[in-house]
Chains A and B, each alone.
Chain A
Amino acid sequence: ETGVTQTPRHLVMGMTNKKSLKCEQHLGHNAMYWYKQSAKKPLELMFVYNFKEQTENNSVPSRFSPECPNSSHLFLHLHTLQPEDSALYLCASSQERGVYYNEQFFGPGTRLTVL
């Protein structure tokens, strides 16, 4: 266990559904991230939050909407997704201090399938 949990672990949704992914970190970190991992591609950074403020939006379509109510919780709200959005969605957290700053700890991921 890395101290980062994600729910649900698996999600199947239609293109007209609305769903949310949840991430929680128990490490006292102050930065949280959403990544998308598609087959045979490097992890793609989607969003970054530092101290609850969004500091990075990597040109992500508006059908993905992040929310960070506090430093320990991160959500990804999904609506009107496309089949090509099917992927493993990973949450990570890090502490932005020290020599090994930005060492990110990943959750187990949510395997999303869009029908």
Chain B
Amino acid sequence: GAVVSQHPSRVICKSGTSVKIECRSLDFQATTMFWYRQFPKQSLMLMATSNEGSKATYEQGVEKDKFLINHASLTLSTLTVTSAHPEDSSFYICSARGDRGYSSGYTFGSGTRLTVV
């Protein structure tokens, strides 16, 4: 089945530094990937839609200069949190549509817990 690998699963960084999160589709080509943010005990909020070879489309209220998304290949999308601050601490999840059509739904990475200290 479709597998999406997200790395790292946990990261702690100092305020002001940048952190890169990788999202890879292991056995299928993901022309579109999605990045979400989830606050504790809350739902997933779509941050941006990433299409291979083009600029990401950001949702309203999401700073594109702060959350840099790169989708340079059909199997890899990256999210870089630049100049991280404690309020950026959150759970970040990526997803891509499975390759079995709609019946397979979307495949999610296992998430990255970012803590900015």
The finding on whether chains A and B are genuine partners in a shared complex, rather than unrelated, reads no
Interface residues of B, Cβ cutoff 8 Å to A? none
Interface residues of A, Cβ cutoff 8 Å to B? none
